[in-house]
Amino acid sequence: LNLEVRTHFDGEPAQYEQAYGLTFATPGADTPCESLPPCPEGADLDQDGMIGTSEVLLMLAAFGEVTTGPEDLNGDGMVNVSDVLLLLGSFGMICG
């Protein structure tokens, strides 16, 4: 069983190891952020570097609208099932 937990914390790992008895391994920690794959065109609606729940909620809020806004991923002038499917194809992606 492999378990990977990603978290953000302030302080040094030694402080958390001492407080919680945890051991931290950071494979790839020296890899610069520039190595992240680019986000699919327009899919990162909130520009947070991740295609996640917030994008789905933004997409659903605009669903059915006639618009050329950012939620219209395929550029057909309407937010519809095609746009949702494009978004879901990238769901969970961490990108830069």
Domain boundaries defined on the chain: 13-88
pLDDT of res. 8: 59
How far is the C-alpha of 52 from the C-alpha of 50, rounded, in Å?
6
Helix (H) or strand (E) holding 93: none
* pLDDT confidence band for 13 (50 / 70 / 90): low
- Per-residue tokens: 24: 């931290």
* pLDDT confidence band for 18 (50 / 70 / 90): low
Could you say which architecture CATH assigns to the domain 13-88? Answer: Orthogonal Bundle (1.10)
* pLDDT confidence band for 63 (50 / 70 / 90): very high
pLDDT of res. 52: 93
Which residue in this structure is represented by tokens 């570097």?
49
DSSP line for 23-89: ----TTTTS-GGGSPPPPTTT-TT-SSB-SHHHHHHHHHHTT-B--STT-TT-SSB-SHHHHHHHHT
* pLDDT confidence band for 86 (50 / 70 / 90): very high
* For residues 6-18, average pLDDT: 60
Tell me the pLDDT tens digit for each residue of 19-58: 566 665 655 555 555 678 888 888 999 999 999 999 999 9
Burial of 22 (0-12, 13-18, 19+ CB in 10 A): exposed
Cross-strand pairs, 66: 78
